[in-house]
Structure 1
Amino acid sequence: MKLLNVLPTLDPAAGGPVEGMRQSALALAAMGHHVEAATLDDPRAPFLTAAPLPVAPLGPARGRYGYAPQALGWLRTHAPRFDAIVVHGLWQYPGFATRQALRALDVPYYVFAHGMLDPWFKQTYPLKHAKKWLYWPWGEYRVLRDARAVLFTTDEERLLARQSFWLYRVRERVVSFGAAAPPGDAARLRAAFLAAYPSLSGQRILLFLGRLHPKKGCDIVLHAFAQVAQSDPTLHLAFAGAGDDDTISQLHALAARLGIAGRVTWTGLLQNDLKWGALAASDAFVLPSHQENFGVAVVEALASGTPVLISDKINIWREIAADRAGFVASDTVSGALANLRRWLALDASSQARMRMQARDAFAARFTVDAHARRLLQVLEEDRDATCRANAAAAPRAAA
């Protein structure tokens, strides 16, 4: 099968959906399928040189919406080369351009929602939601309505998506999601990370890994950590991720006010071996997010055998709790504090058992190969159904 992914950017700093698409593309290629990407990136963007698949950078895009004048023409010309097109994300030009380009072409497209229809956004940002309503009836609603299917990572995300807009008609398919396993020996990865951050050697590292954004509950992590920090002088908090300057400065100021600035390390965005090394070196992974449709970093922590202390607003929390791969609580300071205290109260053998349970949960539920196979199954089932429908319609048309 020939598959085209259409998305705003391949910048790793954009978070889990980009990393998930990259890993899915590698898995599909290993299975013998051809995968490409079209993005709104500037062709000069340095991260494109490390892309693991052929990329057509159609930018630079204009504004937050990401309008790129050449995208529509490129899609009309090149879409017939592919069996299917998957648009990643909502609310930007790639989805609108894909629908417009394919209206006269016999090429199906799918939309991967990536949590962007979660009603949390409506509740938290009502003014932004009102603006989206102005665009919804003639824009995003039609993009989703005309897609061969809208793809969700979990049943919970699928059900939540129905609550954001009353004007809603889509074909729903759940295809899961996945992440890669660590690339090699954990001891080597751990050593590489600690060599880069020698001040963390000998510390019990609690790791936040992800975008530094209010949605992720970064402030909650700091408040909760401040209340347990004195219980063990070796406890240390590491924030690994990128964010805008205002958010980062606010978090630094909060750490200073809480008296824990010396117990927090800010690494910025970590990639490749340093990212995996941070996970391998950490005592536990902490993410009290207010909204997360999947959580690629959560799954990467499981793959590394690092127990996860997460909120019940991450849509795979039920699986985490069932597999005893970490602790789950509310997306509040009291919830995050309860998770930390439960983890720190475990003895060494119980912590070791939970690390094994984390690896087992990853292997059973969240491998990128399992996601790639499920995505391929959906695409092939739809293709076969279309072929059967066309074959049945041919004799009637001839008559």
Structure 2
Amino acid sequence: MRVLHVIPSVGPLRGGPSSVIRSLACGLSEQGIEVHICTTDDNGPERSDVPLGRPRIENGATVFYFPRQFRLYTVSLPLARWLMRNVHHYDLVHIHAVFSFASTIAAFCARARRVPYLIRPLGVLNAWGLRNRRAALKQLSLRLVEKLMFASAACVHFTSEQERQEALKAGVSAPSVVIPNPFSPLPTALSKGEFRNAHPAINNRRIILFLSRLDRKKGLELLLEAFACLRRGEACLVIAGDGEHAYKQHLRATAERLGLADEICWTGFLNGSAKAAALADADVFVLPSYSENFGNAVVEALIAGVPVIISDQVAIHAELSSCEAALVVPCEAAAISSALGHLLSSPELAGRLRDRGPAAARELFSLESVAGKLLESYRKILRSSSGEEAAQIKSGATPARTA
């Protein structure tokens, strides 16, 4: 089976979707699938230093990078031309993201060549996502572009039941499957002390870690307000991530206004061994998002054995709460502050979460399990597609596939 994955970016600065696609490629390759990825050299405000237009082997997959020509919608005409010429060579197309040039052109080419495709919308169909960041443009695009994309899709791939229910409210009622993101083993062994040594200003204070993109949907203003309510000098808030320059300046100004300038360590984007070091030294991980269709950083913290606090808008909150692997709070500064204080003052509670987190993550989000579920979904789609082709041939119509 040859499967083409199309995603606007796999740049590290784009966060979770980039790491997930690499894990999926590895897991699906181990299941015997020939995996190809079509993407751009986008890396947030930067460009990835990669060969363009030539195949490159990464994580068991063949990756084709094309130049990003405009940041808005990650437009790449060379990517479009490649898809038009090559999409019919694949049995199936797996599209990651919507409201994107790459996604739109991939769906168009797949429909034109009668190649079945499925869409993973990456959580942007929930109420928060549709109300924020170019909301009017999204609503227009949803009616004029994405509506046809979803109507023609063989399946929509959601990563949580909450994401599926929110998409239904947005009017997406196509056939669907819920398959979570897999966790990726940390690239290096956890070694305590390295992060503290690299950031001596932390001193001996407890570390409250935020490890994600700096984005308004992540609830960082709530976290700053919650942290300001804690007793000063006992903990240091580490904000590890990158984002738009204007938003970073806004966060720093907010911290200054709250009197937190000396209580926060801003590390910028962390990856690889630096991320592993931060998780090794963290006493608490917090993600108070207003909207989160999955929460890859949450799973990384669980695997690392870090006690986790998440909002009830992180889509996997119900699963983690049911196995008592995380503290779940509403998107309110007072609730976040209370949970932080409780966890930092209760070694017994912290110990229970450290023990339960890794086991819960492995049980719910193992790569082998996720890849196996995806493979079964692919097979069902292809069986259904073959049945439709047979019916068309019997009736004298044009077969559904040209490859």
Q: TM-score, normalised by structure 1?
A: 0.90
Q: Deviations over 1:141-186 (max 9, x none)?
A: 1111111111101111101112224xx4422221221221224532
Aligned residues: 389
1:29-178 mapped onto 2 (5 Å cutoff)? 29-41=29-41, 45-46=47-48, 48=50, 52=59, 53-124=61-132, 128-165=134-171, 168-178=172-182
**2:183 matched residue in structure 1:** 179
CA distance in 1, matches of 2:269, 2:58: 17
**2:339 matched residue in structure 1:** 339
1:310-389 mapped onto 2 (5 Å cutoff)? 310-346=310-346, 348-389=347-388
**2:54 matched residue in structure 1:** none
CA distance in 2, matches of 1:210, 1:159: 25
Q: Does 1:279 pair with 2:283?
A: no
Q: Does 1:211 pair with 2:210?
A: no
Which amino acid letter does the alignment assign opposite residue 225 of structure 1? F
Q: Deviations over 1:126-146 (max 9, x none)?
A: xx3333232223311111111
Q: Deviations over 1:59-82 (max 9, x none)?
A: 223241222222222112221332
1:257-276 mapped onto 2 (5 Å cutoff)? 257-276=257-276
Change (3 A) 1:90 1:28: same
1:191 deviation in Å? 4.2
Which amino acid letter does the alignment assign opposite residue 110 of structure 2? L
1:327 deviation in Å? 0.8
Change (3 A) 1:282 1:47: farther
Task: Say which is worse superposed, 315-324 or 378-387, in terms of deviation.
Answer: 378-387
1:373 deviation in Å? 1.7
CA contact (8 A) 1:204 1:234 kept: yes
Change (3 A) 1:242 1:261: same
**2:401 matched residue in structure 1:** none
1:396 deviation in Å? 5.3
CA contact (8 A) 2:130 2:139 kept: no
Which amino acid letter does the alignment assign opposite residue 23 of structure 1? S
1:90 deviation in Å? 0.8
1:217 deviation in Å? 0.7
1:307 deviation in Å? 1.5
Secondary structure, counterpart of 1:72 in structure 2: helix
Secondary structure, counterpart of 1:310 in structure 2: strand
Secondary structure, counterpart of 2:157 in structure 1: strand
Which amino acid letter does the alignment assign opposite residue 215 of structure 1? K
1:292 deviation in Å? 0.3
Task: Say which is worse superposed, 112-121 or 77-86, in terms of deviation.
Answer: 77-86
Moved over 6 A (4+): none
CA contact (8 A) 1:294 1:314 kept: yes
CA contact (8 A) 1:11 1:47 kept: no
**1:244 matched residue in structure 2:** 244
Change (3 A) 1:133 1:250: closer
Secondary structure, counterpart of 1:138 in structure 2: helix
CA contact (8 A) 1:176 1:374 kept: no
Task: Say which is worse superposed, 286-295 or 246-255, in terms of deviation.
Answer: 246-255
Task: Say which is worse superposed, 213-222 or 176-185, in terms of deviation.
Answer: 176-185
Q: TM-score, normalised by structure 2?
A: 0.90
CA distance in 1, matches of 2:42, 2:221: 33
Task: Say which is worse superposed, 74-83 or 305-314, in terms of deviation.
Answer: 74-83
1:395 deviation in Å? 4.8
Which amino acid letter does the alignment assign opposite residue 200 of structure 1? I
CA distance in 1, matches of 2:352, 2:71: 49
CA contact (8 A) 2:5 2:96 kept: yes
CA contact (8 A) 1:42 1:57 kept: no
Secondary structure, counterpart of 2:150 in structure 1: helix
CA distance in 1, matches of 2:128, 2:275: 29
CA contact (8 A) 1:207 1:282 kept: yes
Secondary structure, counterpart of 2:74 in structure 1: coil
1:299-318 mapped onto 2 (5 Å cutoff)? 299-318=299-318
CA contact (8 A) 2:38 2:64 kept: yes
CA distance in 2, matches of 1:283, 1:68: 43
1:123 deviation in Å? 4.2
CA contact (8 A) 2:111 2:152 kept: no
**2:225 matched residue in structure 1:** 223
CA distance in 2, matches of 1:132, 1:353: 43
C-alpha root-mean-square deviation of aligned residues, in Å?
2.3
Secondary structure, counterpart of 1:228 in structure 2: coil
Change (3 A) 1:51 1:240: farther
State the identity as a percent. 30
CA contact (8 A) 2:312 2:330 kept: yes
Which amino acid letter does the alignment assign opposite residue 293 of structure 1? N
Which amino acid letter does the alignment assign opposite residue 164 of structure 2? R
Task: Say which is worse superposed, 45-54 or 302-311, in terms of deviation.
Answer: 45-54
CA distance in 1, matches of 2:282, 2:221: 20
CA distance in 1, matches of 2:137, 2:20: 29
Change (3 A) 1:45 1:254: closer
